[in-house]
Amino acid sequence: MRSRFGIRNLLGAALTALTLGAFAQPAGALEISKHASDSAEVNAILLKGGVEDGDTFDLKVYISKLPKKATVIVYLNSPGGNLREGMRLGRFFFDNKIETAVETKTACASACALAFLGGRDDAGKPHRTKASNSGLGFHSFSRDFDNKNYSADDLKIVVQQTQTQVFLVAEYLKSIGADLDVVRLMLKAQANQMNYISNDEALSLNIRVWDDKRNQLVDPEQVTGSLDRSRTAKADSKPQS
């Protein structure tokens, strides 16, 4: 894990983060439909709307009725919703080698972004693609508080709940082989804000980027491989002492 979390980060999370049920306010229930890119070789599915409890089961039912094809790709367009369900979706993608994508001029945020990270190809390798003009957003957890004075014991519970949530998210990321630096990206934004990551950050998280400007795919493995080859060539060209 590249990032280190200080006391300030944890205190910030404790003040803004709190129940697994609420992550972002969804815009309606998750709709499951055939995507326009569906073909003879690919089952392309569009998930659009808020992530709610039970959506993973509904997707399983939908997929069970589809013809058997070599590849399944899920296109995500969602503001988020239920955190537990987002992670459940991500594990389903991971376990069943389902690819994930976020198209141009659409967004996948909050619980949706965590689900997106579960995308894998038929060999089990990470296969998550975002368009360069799309949004992939992360933020802290959230909870509504009533108007009351909170005691020291109340605040202890808040901190404990926050630590539990961070642990559950970290365990989820570990289970799908995702970069734990995602936790840092989440904590960078308050619960009522959104940290939409840059294309450079996406590549650093092993997420493929479709370059809308040049109509070409930028694969993080190819970028890393090219840099490694350049360094090797440079080292080999140095005169021997």
Q: Which residue has tokens 């605040």?
A: 155
Q: Which of 57, 198, 90, 93 is nearest to 137 (CA)?
A: 198
pLDDT at 145: 58
Residue 109 lies in a domain: yes
Q: Are 140 and 24 in contact (CB under 8 A)?
A: no
- pLDDT on residue 35: 98
Structural tokens at position 61 = 């039912």
112 is a domain residue = yes
Q: Is residue 2 part of a domain?
A: no
Half-sphere exposure at residue 236, Cβ-oriented, CA atoms within 13 angstroms: 6
Q: Residue 144: is it exposed, middle or buried by C-beta count within 10 angstroms (0-12/13-18/19+)?
A: exposed
Domain assignment of residue 143, yes or no? yes
Q: What is the pLDDT of residue 163?
A: 80
**Residue 1 belongs to a domain:** no
- pLDDT averages per 10-residue partition of the chain, 241 residues: 40 41 56 98 98 96 97 97 95 98 97 97 97 95 65 79 84 95 87 91 97 97 67 56 52
Task: Evaluate whether 74 touches 98 at the Cβ level (below 8 Å).
Answer: yes
Residue 107 counted as domain residue: yes
Of all helices (H) and strands (E), which one includes residue 84? helix 83-95
Segments forming the whole domain that contains residue 48: 7-237
pLDDT at res. 8: 41
Structural domain total, the chain = 1
The pTM assigned to this predicted structure is 0.80
Q: Identify the CATH number of the domain in which residue 149 sits.
A: 3.90.226.10
